[in-house]
Amino acid sequence: MSIPLFKRSRKTNLVYLNELKKYVLPWWLVPQNIVNRNDGILAVPANATRNCMMTPDQNGPFEGMYLTCDLFGGDMTVRINDAGFTRDLMNRDVLVSTIMTPAPGGQNVFILPETLWLEQRHSLLFTFTDQSGAANSVRPVLHGRKFFLRQAPAGLGDRFLARRRMQRKVSTPYWFTTDQAVQLANGAAGARANITIGGEGHFVAYKITCQSDGPFEFRLIDGETGAALSGSVFVSNTNCTGIGMDPYVFPEPWFIEKDRLITVEMNNLNALGANNIWFTMSGRRIYDESYREIV
């Protein structure tokens, strides 16, 4: 929901600058509970799990739009929880590189499929787990805009904030990965992994990212109808390097009703042997059937 630079008066039909723009600034949200706060780097020992929080200060709410990170080591997974609403924003841990592009992260942003609204002092909890078997570290950043409405005239922005807060109750960004880890044996064909869209809400998929040890083919199958979205698609035709900065964006967002099962069918084309695959769908989760206040 963008904030227009100009507004038109309904009474006079004159165009004037939107005063709300004075109190909305670009902002970068970084972890607050890291010991060495000067560099914002979270150290994660080999095969261990560590948490960090991102919390807007008391001066106003924050709306996140992009994710980046610097990753100093090998593979790592992440789980993101909206602590203010006690909601997980993904079905289980996903590979960091599929939703936050590693270094140089600042130049390769991952655009959130829906912006993420945080009230002042409401936190996001990031849980990182090392998958490399060696000491690892990560520096995440959430890019967005900050609302400094305490300094604004009374009532300015109330309508915007009311609509945005209602939208946050109805939907959030969300990530789905396969229900279990995927490792295809050498020469495996027709191997299947499920993505369970539970009863918490509908899901609208906007893009796919994935990372693997080698090439593979896949197709997506609707578990309710058995219909396939395509024949087998070679992964480089959709995902290139497969990381967050190179997503495959669906030509049409895919609306998936709650309590549905999506199957990913895969053929291993890795000539070197087994293939570990991380497959992530990025989108928005819809928790409520009533949308009147936000459309």
Are the C-beta atoms of 283 and 203 separated by less than 8 Å?
yes
Q: What is the pLDDT of residue 240?
A: 47
Look up tokens 């578990």; give the residue: 223
Q: Hey, is 228 helix, strand or coil? A: strand
The fold for domain 6-170 equals: Jelly Rolls (2.60.120)
Q: What is the pLDDT at residue 32?
A: 78
**Sequential pLDDT tens for the chain (295 residues):** 678 889 888 888 899 888 889 999 999 999 876 655 556 688 999 999 999 999 998 888 999 999 988 888 888 999 999 988 889 999 999 999 889 876 655 567 889 999 999 998 899 999 999 999 999 999 899 999 999 888 888 888 888 888 888 888 899 999 999 999 999 999 999 999 999 999 999 999 999 988 888 888 889 999 888 888 877 776 765 554 445 567 888 899 999 999 999 999 999 988 888 999 999 999 999 997 666 555 5
pLDDT score, position 241 = 45
| DSSP classification of residue 41 | P
Kindly list the domain boundaries of the chain, sorted by start residue: 6-170, 176-294
Tell me the per-residue pLDDT of 84-99, one tens digit each, with 9 for 90 and over: 888 999 999 999 988 9
Can you give the pLDDT at residue 9?
Answer: 83
Structural contact between residues 66 and 113, judged by C-beta atoms closer than 8 angstroms: no
CATH (residue range 176-294): 2.60.120
Rg (CA), the chain: 21
Scanning 115-232, the segments in alpha helix (DSSP H) are 158-170
pLDDT tens sequence across 209-228: 888 888 888 899 998 888 88
Q: Is the dihedral of CA 95, 96, 98, 104 positive or negative?
A: negative
Report whether 142 contacts 125 (CB < 8 A).
Answer: no
Please check whether the two domains, 6-170 and 176-294, share a CATH topology. Answer: yes
